[in-house]
Amino acid sequence: MSSKLDRLKKFQGGKWKQGKISELILDFARPLLDAMKPTSVEDYNTAMMLATMCWNLPVIEKAGGEDAKKTRRLFDERIDLLPHGVAKLVLQLVESRKTEFVQIPFYILAEARGTTLDNCRIHAEARQPPGTEL
């Protein structure tokens, strides 16, 4: 069975087919999660925050304006605080978003919910950027 990520890589400009956004962002974030090896829900949330920033940054930058500049500054500040290997993965995720997933126009909001890693679940939602149509 292919992952949501594998199915989306085959997407070539047709209508977006609804699915579980949590699966999409988890698949997208997998290299980062594997590298960070979260040991708590808080760590998992940090990884998901980074992954959603990677997913959303190109969409925000495409829209331009002050929000784009502010978001880019925040992203660059966070990158500077990360260990080199993790920072490199984050930059690769941004590049992946720009090349492999450029045709998917929505933002993703995601967070880890739970009290332990055993009961942790990802809650994710897609949001349409202002001025775009699906």
What does the pLDDT read at residue 26? 92
Sort residue 62 into left (φ over 0), alpha (ψ -120 to 50) or beta: alpha
Give the predicted TM-score (pTM) of the model.
0.80
What does the pLDDT read at residue 67? 85
Per-10-residue mean pLDDT of the chain, 134 residues long, equals 52 53 91 93 93 93 87 91 92 93 86 92 86 54
Angle between helix 41-63 and 84-99 (nearest 10): 40
Domain coordinates in residue numbering, the chain: 20-127
